[in-house]
Amino acid sequence: MVLAANAPDFDAVSWLGGSATYIHWHRNITHSIAAVPVMALLAVAIVRFAGRKQIRWLPAWGIAMVAVLSHLILDLTNVYGVRLMLPFSGHWSHWDLTPIIDLTIWAVLLLGVAAPALGRLVGSEIGERQRRPGAGWAVVALLLLTGYDYGRSVLHDRAVALMDARDSRIYNGLAPRRTAAFPEANPLVWTGIAELSNAYVEVPIDLRGAFRPEAAQTFYKPERTAALQAAMGTFPFQRFLEFVQFPVWVLDPAPDLEHATRVSLVDLRFGTPAAPGFAAFATVTDRNQVADAELTFGRPRVR
């Protein structure tokens, strides 16, 4: 089950092909519902043949599929998301309940591992015999994790409701086409995003106080210039456009090449143009030729 629960992340080997290749293949087909039986069978086969361990194939395959599904569910809860319907659809599904790195989840899982180990250590010191000391703590950890995610789902619904409230649905004089709320490290703090016809609006949400749409930051959508179109045709931008959900484009004069344009693409889920997380950059000459293009994984905001 441990091996099967991590099997979908075998796609991490795509990192060897560079960041653009990685963002295309990470959480790709190995994270789809169609691949669950295959990933589970792969884990069972590794245990059987590499581990040289006699197993009952059908029961082992069944529990391995449960483990693979647990991986998909955990990935589904965070802001990065998964493409569950591959190869039939590349749609990204994400519940936006937890950060990609959530220290609370880490602490709960660590409790499930450390507590029984400590219990066995104490029991051995006092000569006490215990039967399956880890089973109870495993149940406790799963219940705590389920309760934590449910609590975050309630808070997420409240944050989205604030973005959609009738008295706050007008941003910069325009009604939003869509809204979303993304988690921060603090479960009571969220980042609201509203897409307008001409811009994206980012609104800080603190559920402990009053909603303040006037504190929003606006990122205007640029015109589809020739330089922007040239950047979109590059491999890094094409791969990033498969992934980005709230794209913000920035066109500035290139600092190192005369008469050239620096084209940047940022996903508001992970940062802003001033502090990008995942971002694509290209330098386009005055003849609309791409001098360089890259996809970078900067440090995303803690969510």
pLDDT in tens, 152-189: 999 999 999 999 886 556 787 888 899 999 999 999 99
How do residues 139-153 score in pLDDT, each as one tens digit? 999 999 999 999 999
- Which of 15-29, 44-58, 133-147, 170-184 has the highest average model confidence (pLDDT)? 15-29
Instruction: Report the percentage of the chain scoring pLDDT > 70.
Output: 92
Q: Which two tokens stand for residue 11?
A: 């796609």
pLDDT of 127 reads 56
pLDDT of 129 reads 58
Query: Predicted confidence band at 303 (pLDDT cuts at 50, 70, 90)?
Result: very low
Q: Which two tokens stand for residue 91?
A: 């749609």
State mean pLDDT over 85-91: 94
**Residue 133: pLDDT over 70:** no
Residues 6+ apart with CB under 8 A from 268: 193, 200, 202, 219, 246, 247, 248
Residue ranges of domains in the chain: 2-77, 103-154, 156-219, 222-297
Q: CB–CB of 261/252 below 8 Å?
A: yes
Give me the residues paired with residue 98 across strands: 78
**Residue 242: pLDDT over 80:** yes
State mean pLDDT over 190-207: 94
**Residue 54: pLDDT over 90:** no
> What are the DSSP E strand ranges found in the chain?
178-183, 189-195, 199-206, 217-220, 247-253, 261-267, 278-284, 290-297
Q: What is the mean pLDDT of the chain?
A: 90
Which of 257, 254, 263 lies closest to 294 in space, CA to CA?
A: 263
CA distance 59 to 101: 33
